[in-house]
Amino acid sequence: MRSVTEENYLKAIYRLMEEHEGLVNTNAIAEKLELKPSTVTDMLKKMAQKNLVHYSPYKGALLTEEGRKSALLIIRKHRLWEVFLVEKLQFSWDEVHEVAEELEHITSGRLINRLDEFLGFPQIDPHGDAIPAANGSIRQAKQTLLYEMAVGSIVQVSGVKNTDRQFLQHLDKLGISLGSTITVDGIADFDKSMEILIEGAPEVRISAEVASNLLVQKMN
């Protein structure tokens, strides 16, 4: 049985592997988990012994196949619980993360599969992230940052890169949610802020900061 601690390491390493190619370094893990690097070194050695990570001292770590499977299962649980919280318990998308951080460590496999069924086998969580299947497969739709889009583009919001409460609440205030259709009407040379139209509502201006945290898909 994996400890909650191990599960958190697995998840962190998985996320870091997604972010950049190649080995994940000790400091990055330490930062993500808010731990000291020396603590992480210790843990990596233990996890290497358990065959959860490949670890080369001074170089970095990678998940083994077993580690990757475990990480995906945790992410599956996390995202399914988020869907539950939003759809069934009326939580808003900025409130679910912390609670799901706890729920994801509940071990029962039966529970999570029944929950999946109860929710109607959702494909994405409230932030637009794909939910891994029970067998560990995950379909990653290619997404672009709104920031990369040219004037005139029409896109659909498919996810957020940042899930901090503050950012999500800001999106709510702007009237942007998952699935919103956005037309890019202008980009300021000065600060790259964007004038956008959100489904016929009055035009608003968003900062480059916002645009570079919004994942979108081009509409045909």
Two tokens, residue 76: 């599956």
Contact between residue 66 and residue 51 where contact means Cβ atoms under 8 Å apart: yes
**Position 162 contacts DNA (CB under 7 A):** no
Residue 23 amino acid letter:
L
Which token pair is 136?
């560990």
**Footprint of DNA on 20-39 (CB under 7 A):** 25-28, 34-39
Q: Which stretch binds a copy of itself (CB under 8 A): 66-74, 86-94, 137-145, 199-207?
A: 86-94
What are φ and ψ of residue 10, in 5° steps?
A: -60, -45
Closest separation in Å from C-beta 50 to a copy of itself: 22
Nearest to 144 by CA among 86, 212, 61: 212
Residues in region 46-65 near DNA by CB under 7 A: 46, 55, 57-60
The Cβ of residue 153 has, within 10 Å, a number of other Cβ atoms equal to 17
42 lies in the binding site for DNA (CB under 7 A): yes
Q: Which residues bind DNA (CB under 7 A)?
A: 3, 5-6, 25-28, 34-46, 55, 57-60
Interface with a copy of itself by CB under 8 A: which residues?
A: 85, 88-91, 95, 98-99, 102-103, 106-108, 110-111, 114-115, 118
